[in-house]
Amino acid sequence: MLVVMKAQATPEEIQAVCEHIEQLGFRPHPLPGAQRTAIGITGNQGEVDRGNLEALPGVAEVIRVSKAYKLASRDVKEEDTIIRFTGSDAAIGGRELAVVAGPCSIESREQAFAIAEQVAAAGAQFFRGGAFKPRTSPYAFQGLGLDALKIMSEIREKFGLRIITEALDTESLEAVAEWADVIQIGARNMQNFSLLKKAGRLRKPVLVKRGLSATLEEFLMAAEYVMSEGNYEVILCERGVRTFADHTRNTLDLSIIPAVKRVSHLPILVDPSHGTGRRDSVLPMARAAVAAGADGVMVEVHNHPEVALSDGPQSIYPNQFSEMMGEIEHIAPVVLRRLPRGIRVDVAAG
């Protein structure tokens, strides 16, 4: 259910409606919009009696949301969600494209700093780097853990980049929430419902990567898990799904971008690195992602991919990253977007 407040409803009226919903034993989710506030109701197994709600001051109407996802739906919030970061111009969603770049894994301070310097110089606003790695083999590099988080926090200080990194489980979730700006939930954890709920209780943006074989509805339900706990800052990320195709690691499903935009207000990024698994495919698919209406891209960049401890074959070189930025800067205006290139650092001055 959804309570749509009148445009001129006062904060007190909104508050009174929320309290009424709580008294009924449900959870209110006030979501302010440009025109009016809508209050999503969750926790109800069946229909909520709309009569009393409709009679409350400031209420315009009470609507039944028919989709399985409620808070992630455009029915609840018409305008696109924009996630902003205090103390920075960086944003995810809206007119400006967000670019996330960095190595698959943080391997050392030197490696991370060298890459961060180059991606910042090329105009990335966000730095990615795995600290806790979900590896297919238990014998493969598992990440530097807390040390990697500390290195990335130094990177934020030095280059002004916002940090995105994966929380693999409930233990790493707390550390990631403490040190990073965005908590990434990986593809393999997209249906780890207890992890999603715990991330929903935190007040840090959460980036949810699409599961290896997730449908649109399953993808949005993962976002809904986070939102149902009161954290509405969710970013979706398409990273390819498993298909019969074997010319790429996964099949990057760019058709999910308009599908998400049609039904949800949440921003969606595209990760052409995991989506293709091939360095030579990353730039073309990053261009295509922007052209298709993605809110930004997330790419793996490595200064020495041939010796990378994870995902070397899909990591682009820093000069290729600069090339990609130049290309998407040209494409962006065609689709009424802009590449901000906000944080430029003077590399020569170090």
- Contacts with ligand PEP, residue ranges (CB under 6 A): 104, 130, 134, 186-188, 209, 239, 274
Q: How far is the CB of 165 from ligand PEP (least distance, A)?
A: 9
Q: Which is nearer to ligand PEP, 53 or 163 (CB)?
A: 163
**What is the crossing angle of helices 318-331 and 109-121, to 10°?**
30
Indicate whether 117 belongs to the interface with Mn ion (CB under 5 A): no
Q: How far is the CB of 189 from ligand PEP (least distance, A)?
A: 8
Indicate whether 311 belongs to the interface with Mn ion (CB under 5 A): yes
DSSP tag of 298: E
From the list ligand PEP, Mn ion, none, partner contacted by residue 187 (C-beta under 5 to 8 A by kind): ligand PEP
Rounded to whole angstroms, the Cα distance separating 258 from 265 reads: 11
From the list Mn ion, ligand PEP, none, partner contacted by residue 134 (C-beta under 5 to 8 A by kind): ligand PEP
In the chain, alpha helices (H) = 11-23, 50-55, 109-121, 146-159, 170-179, 193-200, 216-228, 256-263, 272-276, 279-291, 318-331
Q: Which is nearer to ligand PEP, 73 or 172 (CB)?
A: 172
DSSP tag of 317: P
Q: Residue 59, SS3?
A: strand
Q: How far is the CB of 315 from ligand PEP (least distance, A)?
A: 11
299 neighbors 101 (Cβ within 8 angstroms): yes
For 283, the token pair is: 């730039």
Q: How far is the CB of 311 from ligand PEP (least distance, A)?
A: 7
Q: Which is nearer to ligand PEP, 58 or 275 (CB)?
A: 275
Q: How far is the CB of 303 from Mn ion (least distance, A)?
A: 15
Rounded to whole angstroms, the Cα distance separating 281 from 92 reads: 24
Interface residues for Mn ion in 87-116 (CB under 5 A)? 104
Q: Which amino acid is at 287?
A: R
Q: How far is the CB of 265 from ligand PEP (least distance, A)?
A: 23
Count how many Cα atoms sit within 13 Å of the Cα of residue 245 in the half-sphere of its side chain.
14
Q: Which is nearer to Mn ion, 2 or 104 (CB)?
A: 104
In the complex, which residue's CB is closest to Mn ion?
104
Rounded to whole angstroms, the Cα distance separating 271 from 300 reads: 8
In the complex, which residue's CB is closest to ligand PEP?
186
- What is the contact surface with Mn ion in residues (CB under 5 A)? 104, 311
